[in-house]
Amino acid sequence: MTESDRLTFGPGNGAGARRPSNGLRESVMWLGGVIATVAAMAVGAVLAVFTAVAVAVIALFAAVLVFFAGLAMGARRKAVIRTRRGDDVIEARKVDGAWVAYGWERPGR
C-alpha cells in the first residue's frame, strides 16, 4: 500500500480497518440520520406539490388571457369600419403662431 493509498483509505486493510462500534450512540445517530432524511424528503415533496400547483395556476391565467385576447381580436375584425366622407375634412391654417380651423361649422346644426 502506497502513502497516497494510506491517506485515501486509512490504515489497515479490509473489514478490520473499521472503527469499533459505540453501541447506543451510533444507533441513535443512525436513527437521527434516517429521521432527518425522511423529513427532508417530506419537505421536498410538499414544495414540489406547491410548485406544481403554482405552475398550473399560472397556466390557467395564461389560458384565460389568451381566450380574452382572441375574443377581442375577433370583435375588432367584426367591427364596422367607417370610411371618412369628403365633407368631414376641415381646413386649418397657422395664423400668428396658432392654428385656426375652417370648415368645421356646419349649417343646419
Q: pLDDT tens, position by position, for the chain (109 residues)?
A: 577 766 666 665 555 456 666 788 888 999 999 999 999 999 999 999 999 999 999 999 999 999 999 999 988 777 766 665 666 667 888 888 898 887 666 665 4
CB 90 within 8 A of CB 99: no
| pTM of the complete model beyond 0.85 | no
Delimit the domains of the chain by residue range: 23-102
CB 98 within 8 A of CB 90: no
CA–CA gap between residue 53 and residue 84 (Å, rounded):
52
DSSP state at residue 80: P
Instruction: Quickly tell me which residue has 375634412 as its cell.
Output: 89
